[in-house]
Structure 1
Amino acid sequence: MIAPERTPHATGPVAARVPTGPVAPDAPVIGILGGMGPAATADFYAKLVDATPAVRDQEHRRVVIWSDPTVPDRTESLQGRGPDPLPWLRAGAEKLQEAGATHIAIPCNTAHAFVPALLRYVDVPVVHMIDEVARHLAGAAPPVRCAGLLATDGTVGTGLYQDWLHRRGVEVIVPDARDQQAVMTAILSIKAGRRGATETAVLAAVADRLARAGAEAVVAGCTEIPLCLATTDVTVPLLDPARILARAMVALTAPI
């Protein structure tokens, strides 16, 4: 079975890290297009630091963060209830490029519905978080063939994960209507700063039902979910897309 992701607050021992040497002044720059939401952006940066094999400051990656919490709600836009966030995403990507970003990460699952349109305005690679998750699942030993999904209504409704995972031969199980409503309520609660036992219990219960329906692993497909749900709360491996994306960004920007 695929190894579970570590809990959000876990860090590896410094002694186990392999130094890579100081980063050169012309080294790649990771741009984080964030603010969706702010806590998830801060969490992603922490995971980026944790994923870097550094033993001193100078061995970490160069990073630029653009955190814009005024980006319109992605789910509301996808459901026709709110403005298109693309202009905000485009402006943020342009700010990152002006600041020297050579690779862009977007630590928001639902925002990836707008990545195809965003790519028309971006001159540097945008590393696709959902594609990285699909690669991770398919490359597991043994490969995961059925994954449960906890995500926003926008992510579930647009079939983002379904499309990308199916390309890798992975079936996706989503919650029923009642459970999806509970997941969305929990996500909004976490965004509002409530990360207590109630939110954890709701998400864990839905994850358990997905596992009993055949999911071999569960994807925490909203970057707020890992702020409240740990691997120890679920009965099958819990995958954190933000952590997977962080590892991909570190690998792509490794010193030559």
Structure 2
Amino acid sequence: MDSIPDRAGTARLGVIGGVGPIATADLYRLLVARHRQATGGTYPDVVVHSLPLSAGLETAFITGTADGSHRAEITALLREALDLFEGAGVRHVVLPCNTLHAYLPGLLRGRSLGWVDMVTAVHHRLAADRRRRVLLLGTGSTVTSDLYRNTAGVEFARPAAAAQREVESLVLSCLDGDLSGVPASRLRRLAASAGPVDALLLACTDLHLLRDRTDFGVPVVDSLGCLADACSRVLLAQPSPAAEAVGSGAPR
């Protein structure tokens, strides 16, 4: 592949897409809308690479059953994406997937690529909104990891086993792009599955299809929306390639 020439004074963003495709498309839509509004109609400089995930690999990470071979396969795919971005003049990388988020720091080490940290962006939003106890809705891999850690200001509640299986079922439905038939009672049960909370976090970007639903009974924080806001700031600030992860001082 021939390198894409880098234009002086621009901040080119590389999006690792395909996990899942609808979330990737929505992130791009949000980026375009935010950038055009801020610049009077200019489009952002974005390169999207969609990972060719197999159905088995995708399901393993959604359900938290990924083993060593799955992790090796996804690592190779992510490394290939980063190689492509370096040849394309990308300055910052973004991965709109909570489940795979922890892979990026190690893979970016030694490269001339910055990255936009979704977890940091979420923490900033929760702190700004003064949320104290937040229900974590995500894949089995995300919920059982330490990606979202309790801090002095925020406690993350995890769903019980039955509710977690319900969340994973919703994630799989999101991949088909339609949650219009999900009853309000189902969402209310999920929101109450870990006791009282003052917000819930859609910690799977595929769940962005639920961000406008009011049936939960508590405010909804969408990790994909938080990421889009952080990416917009990077594109508008035009940072250098050596810039550190956006918001790297947030609790991790």
TM-score (norm 1): 0.78
Q: Which residue of 1 aligns with 2:154?
A: 170
Deviations 1:68-93 (A, max 9, x none): 23274334676427512111011112
| Cα contact 2:211–2:222 (8 A) shared by 1 | no
Deviations 1:219-246 (A, max 9, x none): 1111111224524232111011111111
CA contact (8 A) 1:105 1:128 kept: yes
Deviation at 1:28, TM superposition (A): 0.6
Contact 2:63–2:168 (CA under 8 A) maintained in structure 1 = no
Change beyond 3 A, Cα 1:232–1:75: closer
| Alpha-carbon distance in 2 for matches of 1:47, 1:208 | 30
The equivalent of 1:44 in structure 2 is 27
TM-score w.r.t. the length of structure 2 is: 0.80
2:48 is the counterpart of 1:65: yes
Moved more, 178-187 or 76-85: 76-85
- Give the corresponding residue for 1:244: 226
Shift of the 234–107 alpha-carbon distance from structure 1 to 2, 3 Å rule, reads same
Please tell me the residue identity of whatever aligns with 2:201: V
State which of 16, 23, 32 in structure 1 corresponds to 2:15.
32
Written as runs of structure 1 = structure 2, the 5 A alignment for 1:151-162 is: 151-161=138-148
Q: 1:87 to 1:207 in 2, by over 3 A?
A: same
Decide whether the 8 Å contact of 2:138 with 2:203 is kept in 1: yes
In the alignment, which residue of structure 2 is the partner of 1:17?
A: none
* Unmatched tracts of structure 2, length 5 or more: 1-6, 239-252
Q: What is the rounded CA distance, in whole Å, between the counterparts of 2:111 and 2:183 in structure 1?
A: 37
| Aligned residue number for residue 205 of structure 2 | 223
Distance between the aligned counterparts of 1:128 and 1:100, measured in 2? 20
2:112 equivalent to 1:123: yes
AA in 2 matched with 1:31: G
The number of equivalent residue pairs is 225
Q: 2:204 is paired with a residue of what secondary structure? A: coil
Q: Which moved more, 1:70-79 or 1:93-102?
A: 70-79
Distance 1:203 1:87 in 2: 36
1:250, distance to aligned residue in structure 2 (A): 1.0
Q: 1:86 aligns with which of 68, 71, 75?
A: 75
- After superposition, the Cα gap between the structure-2 partners of 1:55 and 1:123, relative to the gap in structure 1 and judged at 3 Å, is closer
Matched, 1:149 2:136: yes
Which whole-Å CA distance do the structure 1 matches of 2:217 and 2:62 have between them?
Answer: 28
Aligned CA-pair RMSD:
2.4
For residues 120 and 222 of structure 2, what CA distance do their matches in structure 1 show? 13
C-alpha change, 1:103 and 1:175, in structure 2 (3 Å) is same
In 2, distance between residues paired with 1:38 and 1:200?
Answer: 25
Distance apart, 1:54 and its partner CA: 3.8
1:20-60 Cα offsets, whole Å, 9 max, x none, are: xxxx7531111111110111100111111222234654x23
Contact map agreement 1:199 1:228 (CA 8 A) in 2 = no
Distance 1:62 1:69, change over 3 A: same
**Secondary structure at 1:39 match in 2:** helix
- Consecutive unaligned residues in structure 1, runs of 5 or more: 1-23
After superposition, the C-alpha distances for 1:171-223 in whole angstroms (9 at most, x for unaligned) are: 0011100000011011112213443313775345302444xx22111111111
Contact 1:129 1:245 in 2 (8 A): yes
SS in 1 for 2:205: coil
Map of 2:242 onto structure 1: none
Aligned to 1:184: 168
